[in-house]
Amino acid sequence: MQMRHLGLLLLVAALLAAPPAVSAWRPWPPRNETGGGAASGLGASKKFEGSSEFVKLQYHMGPVLATAITVHPIWYGPWPVEQKRTIRAFLRSLAPPPEEEARIPRPSVAAWWRTVRLYTDQTDANVSAAVSLGAEKSDARMSRGARLSRMDIQAVVRDAVGARTRPLPVDSGGVYLVLTSPEVVVEDFCGQVCGFHYFTFPSVVGYTLPYAWVGNSARRCPEVCAYPFAIPAYVHGRRPESPPNADVGVDGMVSVIAHELAELASNPLANAWYAGTDPSFPTEIADLCEGIYGTGGGGAYTGQLLTDARSGAAYNVNGAGGRRFLVQWVWNPVLSYCSGPNALDQ
Ligand SMILES: *[C@@H]1O[C@H](CO)[C@@H](O)[C@H](O)[C@H]1NC(C)=O
Ligand SMILES: *[C@@H]1O[C@H](CO)[C@@H](O)[C@H](O)[C@H]1NC(C)=O
């Protein structure tokens, strides 16, 4: 449901004597980690990435996003053009036209989306292969102020679909992505969440629309929401990875956007795919794999990443226009562990 406080997981990994109740929310067994998050035990089990008999991901009979998905970004607060370009490039990379996809080196963002497509609804329809960038809306002047509650995010969506000039279209595959700039404070941001997804209420917005919010954490908590491009102070001896688009806040957002889109697609109305018994606090397909970006990942270790030979930046997928991104893995329902296109064993 929501991208959780990754710091908590790092803290748990750093404190080997963490109480069971706290560490138990991670579905996989603790690794032999030192406080420095060294990759001890890497290779001990190729199927370590989140694999656990304790994970009971269940289907609750609701719909998945099976028709062509159109993502409508809503840029809230001042957004430099280059930052918008990076996020648009990521969204365009999820399902590029075939001739373009053929030019993108593996592992690709589109291959990452293939894991999300493994989720089906009760009519056996898979999550859509088609994901495109739709119309956009800007609210650079922050019409609802620089402090937003969770309900305010719905109001921002309502403003965008109800705008007098060029409202965002309301269509069957539309999802609305509220992206807040570093100056915007959102309820629970940094403390508990880096992003969340839900659906709008007809009484507030006029329609039931899946939407997500993701904030740029650059000013407030990059070590929480832009990990591993920033590292919490209590994790010693660990250097931050260099971000592939040279922007800690935005490169961190890309993985959170990926997280929320994967969950929106597989659990758009909070009644399809999740683990746990409480639909208000479900554990969804990306929650299960938070902090895992490559083979061997878990605890405070990201797993095996790729390195950009020119810039030294860390990434795990290639996208449109020669861009590279680092996105977390998602739970694979066929394999029953976290997987991604950069896995070493495929
Ligand atoms: C973890 O440490 C224990 C005890 O030192 C050892 O028996 C075990 O094999 C280690 N596991 C891994 C995955 O390295
Ligand atoms: C649809 O989902 C099923 C079940 O996970 C999977 O076996 C199949 O390969 C998926 N189809 C596509 C096109 O991804």
Return the best residue to mutate from 28, 32, 46, 51 for the ligand 1 pocket (most ligand atoms within 8 A of CB): 32
Residue 35 maps to a domain: no
Task: Indicate whether residue 45 lines ligand 1 (CB < 6 A).
Answer: no
Give the residue from 220, 216, 287 showing the smallest Cα distance to 247.
216
Indicate whether 344 belongs to any domain. no
CA dist 111 and 234 (Å) reads 35
In a domain, 26, yes or no: no
- Number of independent structural domains in the chain: 1
Instruction: Tell whether the model's pLDDT for residue 237 goes beyond 90.
Output: no
Mode of pairing for the β-strands spanning 210-215 and 193-199: antiparallel
Confidence (pLDDT) at 309 = 95
CA of 67 from ligand 2 middle (Å) equals 15
The per-residue pLDDT for range 238-247, each reduced to its tens digit, is 899 999 999 9
Which of 169-183, 187-201, 225-239 ranks highest by mean pLDDT? 169-183
Identify residue 226 by its one-letter amino acid code: A
Q: Whose CA is nearest to atom 5 of ligand 2?
A: 118
Q: How far is the CA of 187 from the centre of ligand 1 (A)?
A: 41
How far from 326 is each of 209, 344, 345, CA to CA, in Å? 28, 16, 19
Ligand nearest to the CA of 301: 1
Average pLDDT over residues 185-190: 92
Summarize pLDDT for 8-40 with one digit per residue, the tens: 444 444 433 322 222 222 223 333 333 333 332
The pLDDT, as a whole number, for residue 281 is 80
Longest CA pairwise span in the chain (Å): 59
With respect to residue 34, please indicate whether it lies within any of the assigned structural domains: no
pTM of the entire predicted model: 0.85
- Residue 261 placed within a domain: yes
Q: Is position 196 within any domain?
A: yes
Return the structure tokens found at 117: 């497509």
276-to-1, 12, 52, 335 alpha-carbon distances in Å: 12, 21, 14, 19
Q: How confident is the model at residue 345 (pLDDT cuts 50, 70, 90)?
A: confident
Ligand 1 atom nearest to 45, measured from its CA: 13
Domain that includes residue 119, residue range: 2-13+43-339
In this predicted structure, the answer to whether residue 205 has a pLDDT above a threshold of 70 is yes
**Separation of 338 CA from ligand 2 center, angstroms?**
16
Q: Which ligand is nearest to the CA of 124?
A: 2
Nearest ligand for residue 111 CA: 2
Q: Which of 265, 70, 103, 84 is nearest to 174 (CA)?
A: 70
Å from CA of 319 to ligand 2 middle: 23
pLDDT at res. 52? 55
Using the atom order of ligand 1, give the atom closest to the CA of residue 41.
14
CA-to-CA separations, 160 to 78, 91, 136, 151, 289, in angstroms, rounded: 16, 19, 9, 15, 32
Going by alpha carbons, the residue nearest to atom 8 of ligand 2 is 118
**What would the pLDDT profile of 150-167 be if each residue is shown by its tens digit?**
999 999 999 999 999 999
Residue 18 falls within a domain, yes or no? no
31 in any annotated domain: no
